[in-house]
Amino acid sequence: MKLRVDRFRVRPGRKVKLAELPTRVAPLYDTDPSYEELLAKHVARLSELQTRLYAHDRYALLLIFQAMDAAGKDGAIRHIMSGVNPQGCQVYSFKHPSPEELDHDFLWRTTRVLPERGRIGIFNRSYYEEVLIVRVHPEILASQLLPRETCEDPKIWKHRFRSILDTEKHLHRNGTRILKFFLHISKEEQRKRLLARLDDPKKRWKFDKGDLQERALWKEYLAAYEDCLASTSTKHAPWYVVPADDKKNARLILSQIIVEHLESLDLRYPSATALKKKELVEIRKRLAK
């Protein structure tokens, strides 16, 4: 069954209530083998479209992944992009900013690694951390060495939203297409996954005691996400709230959205000029001899 993925898109200008949006929907697959088959089809199609994207060389695609802890971002990126040529794909994970990054504006560290035309760029977390974790933790904002009037401005988050919107509009005008995904996990499912990390020696290294501190701020994070999603989802750079309690289903939804978007770009291989065709005919004759 093919899902209408548009149902997960955040409409521009509408308020977002994450408590009213599903963290689980009817699965696109019946069994594990059917999941593997569907994902393989999506990955194969994505690989083909990425090759066209590279040859067409007019667009870049930026995929942004945001989520609460243990929502499955890493696994989704790994499974979905498994068939894409590494030369055409760039993945960046943004952690705590370095001293050099703190001495620049909040968009600098992500702007410098944007994908070139013909390539897919993936941000595992992104500049949106600056209106999410920084908003929930005011002490981070205080450490950014900003002018006092900026830090104390009650409209600082609206100003940052505007900076982001202007940047994304500029990128769109210049050929970068942007898809933004919030992997929507329930608090109960997160609890189960954190427990699984503790119980599995192969996953235990992922657990950090800070995860519990962040979990205690669940309501604050949801409020920050709701404002962010409502304020920054646009026609040219939409947010998708993807149900993530079922990891496999989330991967199928994500890959379908990406494939459908690339298909909408009408990517084409460059056509040869008459002179080039004549040149190729001559080369073929020489090779045939």
Q: What is the pLDDT along the chain (289 residues), one digit of tens a residue?
A: 567 889 999 999 999 999 999 999 999 999 999 999 999 999 999 999 999 999 999 999 999 999 999 999 999 999 999 888 888 999 999 988 899 999 999 999 999 999 999 999 999 999 999 999 999 999 999 999 899 999 999 999 999 999 999 999 999 999 999 999 999 999 999 999 999 988 888 777 777 777 889 999 999 999 999 999 999 999 999 999 999 999 999 999 999 999 999 999 999 998 877 777 778 788 888 889 8
Sign of CA dihedral 196, 229, 125, 177: positive
pLDDT of amino acid 96: 87
Question: CA-based Rg of the chain, rounded to a whole angstrom?
Answer: 21
- Length reported for the chain: 289
Which residue type occupies 141? Answer: L
The Cα–Cα gap between 64 and 86 comes to 18
Instruction: Write down the domain spans for the chain.
Output: 5-288
Q: How far is C-alpha 100 from the geometric centre of its chain's CA atoms?
A: 25
Other C-beta atoms closer than 10 Å to the C-beta of 7 total 11
User: Strands, E, within 37-142: which ranges?
Assistant: 60-67, 89-93, 120-124
Residue with tokens 């209530």: 17
Other C-beta atoms closer than 10 Å to the C-beta of 48 total 14
Please list, residue by residue across 209-226, b when 16 or more beta carbons sit within 10 angstroms of its beta carbon and e when fewer do.
eebeebbeeeeebbebbb
The Cα–Cα gap between 251 and 80 comes to 7
pLDDT of amino acid 71: 97
Q: How far is C-alpha 209 from the geometric centre of its chain's CA atoms?
A: 26
The secondary element (H helix, E strand) that includes residue 279 is: helix 274-288
Sequence-separated (6 or more) residues with CB below 8 Å from residue 111: 167
DSSP code, position 127: G
pLDDT of amino acid 1: 57
pLDDT of amino acid 267: 96
How far is the CA of 133 from the CAs of 162, 236, 282, in angstroms? 18, 25, 61
User: Strands, E, within the chain: which ranges?
Assistant: 60-67, 89-93, 120-124, 176-184, 239-243
Other C-beta atoms closer than 10 Å to the C-beta of 206 total 16
The Cα–Cα gap between 207 and 212 comes to 9
Q: Around 281, how many Cα atoms within 13 Å sit in the side-chain half-sphere?
A: 7
Q: Any idea which architecture 5-288 has in CATH?
A: 3-Layer(aba) Sandwich (3.40)
The Cα–Cα gap between 240 and 229 comes to 9
The tokens describing 166, both together, are: 């202007």
pLDDT of amino acid 281: 83
pLDDT of amino acid 75: 96
Q: How far is C-alpha 5 from the geometric centre of its chain's CA atoms?
A: 15
